[in-house]
Amino acid sequence: MSTQAPAGAKYCCKCSKDVTHQQRMKDTEGRYWCPDCSKKDEAKKMEHAGAVCKGCGEAFSKPQLTWIGGLPYCKPCMTSRFAVKKTFLGRVWSQLKGE
């Protein structure tokens, strides 16, 4: 006797969960995904996809970006932002000290 899955049975390609009678996704290669694995895969893709810097509009990979308030900024933009902030704070500090 064969131990093969019954005809028409659908299993998640990641966790082998039986998704025959429940919500599932099918990828371009015809494999099935359960909602959980599909969600995890999406999150992983997002992590590696990178984003467009909100400061200069250039696209960067994830490791090059710093997220502030949910928005991505590249290193040069971060540096200039901090430089501005530092100068501003420095000025305020000087005023407070009465210089």
Binding residues for Zn ion (CB under 5 A):
12, 14-15, 17, 34, 37, 53, 55-56, 74, 77
Burial state string for 33-58 with b = 16 or more CB within 10 A and e = fewer than 16: bbeebbeeeeeeeeeeeebebbbeee
Residue 19 Cβ, how far from Zn ion at the closest point, in Å? 7
Measured CA to CA, the distance from residue 81 to residue 42 in angstroms comes to: 31
The owner of tokens 């932002």 is: 81
77 by Cβ neighbours in 10 Å (0-12 / 13-18 / 19+) ranks as: buried
- Tokens at 74, concatenated: 């590249």
Residue 38 Cβ, how far from Zn ion at the closest point, in Å? 8
Given the complex with Zn ion, which of 71 and 89 has the nearer CB atom?
71
Given the complex with Zn ion, which of 75 and 91 has the nearer CB atom?
75
Given the complex with Zn ion, which of 15 and 83 has the nearer CB atom?
15
Given the complex with Zn ion, which of 56 and 92 has the nearer CB atom?
56
